Structure 1
Amino acid sequence: MAAEAKIWKVYAREAKKYDDDMIRAWNASLDTLLIFAGLFSAVSTAFIIESYKLMQPDFAQLTFLAMVGKADISDLEDFEVLMTARAVNCLWISSLIASLTAALISILAKQWLTSYPVNDDDTPRGWAQMRQFRYDSLQAWHVPQIIASLPVFLHVSLLLFLAGLGVFLVPVDITTG
């Protein structure tokens, strides 16, 4: 077929419409994921900052006891991290890692989608061949499946966070936990 045949122009028009819709839908989904991942990571970080304090002795209390003469060096040596504190920190840090992983992959996917469209500088047949090459590459690299799996990272992140919150609240009040 000739490079300027009408079929190439029809294909280009239909393929552009399909690609525009596909990219628009994926970008909207990725934008939502990025907003949630960013906000959730900020909240998780605030909780981690507080729970991390449970992993070390209360130096303010030890300083106070030293100032009033009631400090004992064995207080520092006898310090033992509670198993619940370890569990909470492991769950919340794992949650943060899953959330940041989702954000990183979302950013990479948005970069892939930005470079996906083909320039109109070529003949209709050349454009069609380049577009099909990029589309096949998108499929070969499993980009649709990667984008579809990103919410799972955030679901796992949320479940880990809630599990950590449950463990964190158990010592506070047995009826709350």
Structure 2
Amino acid sequence: SDFWKRYDRLADIHDKKLTMNLNGNLDVLLIFAALFSAINTTFISITMPNLSPNPSDETNNLLRLLVMRADNNTLTPTDLLPPFSADSNSILVNCLLYASLSCSLLAAVGAMMAKEWLQSFDRTGQTGPLEEQALLRQRKLNGVQDWHLEAVIKFLP
């Protein structure tokens, strides 16, 4: 019985240290992911209009067409309204911005999943004999080690 009490105390110290360290890393990651996503979204909203035609240009072309029709000019509407095509640099920049936003959100989802994993690893509220608690704790720790939770969390950013 003394063995299991001592084991429980040492395992509890180890587990608290592990979860506090990893939870702290995940909290910082979530804050930076949120800030980066907000800034990235702002850039996307600024560059998004470059991917569509300017409405005032289209209005001016239509007015020009009306004036020419009034003068009985024989130009067709296709002569006045050139097809719109976005600048290749604008397309590239928006692709990169959306890719970085996707990566940031993916890291945030991964961090939340890792926090849930750490929450399930916590032994708060466990009842029963110390020996059974120790076996359950060891099974959870083996799962954390088998799935390389620490490496996954370090890979997230």
Give the secondary structure class of the aligned counterpart of 2:156: helix
Cα deviations across residues 20-67 of structure 1 (Å, max 9, x unaligned)? Answer: 111111111111110110111011011111212111111233224434
Asked if residue 123 in structure 1 is aligned to residue 129 in structure 2, the reply is: yes
Q: Which structure ranks higher in relative contact order (CA pairs < 8 Å, sequence separation ≥ 6)?
A: 2
In the alignment, does 2:86 pair up with 1:81? Answer: yes
Q: Separation in 2 of the partners of 1:75 and 1:114?
A: 64
- Percent of pairs with identical residues: 34
Cα distance in 1, alignment partners of residues 49 and 91 from structure 2: 11
Instruction: Give every structure 1 segment of 4 or more consecutive aligned residues whose post-TM-superposition deviation is greater than 6 Å.
Output: none
Deviation at 1:75, TM superposition (A): 6.0
1:149-176: per-residue Cα shift (whole Å, max 9, x none)?
Answer: 012xxxxxxxxxxxxxxxxxxxxxxxxx
Query: Scaled by the length of structure 2, what TM-score is found?
Result: 0.84
Flag structure 2 segments of 5+ consecutive residues without an equivalent. 67-76
1:118-157 correspondence to structure 2 within 5 Å: 118=123, 119-151=125-157
Deviations 1:53-85, CA, capped at 9 Å, x for gaps: 111111233224434x36865565432221111
Q: In structure 2, which of residues 102, 105, 113 is the aligned counterpart of residue 108 of structure 1? A: 113
User: What per-residue deviation string (whole Å, max 9, x for no partner) do you get for residues 114-133 of structure 1?
Assistant: 11122441211111100000
SS in 2 for 1:79: coil
TM-score, with normalisation over the residues of structure 1?
0.75
Change (3 A) 1:112 1:84: same
The answer to whether residue 37 in structure 2 is matched with residue 38 in structure 1 is: no
Please give the residue correspondences for 1:22-33 in structure 2 after superposition, counting only pairs within 5 Å.
Answer: 22-33=18-29
CA RMSD after TM alignment: 1.8
Length, aligned pairs only: 146
Match in the other structure for 1:96:
101
Letter of the structure 1 residue corresponding to residue 5 of structure 2: K
CA distance in 1, matches of 2:145, 2:93: 39
Q: Does the 8 Å contact 1:51/1:85 carry over to 2?
A: yes
Q: Larger radius of gyration, structure 1 or 2?
A: 2
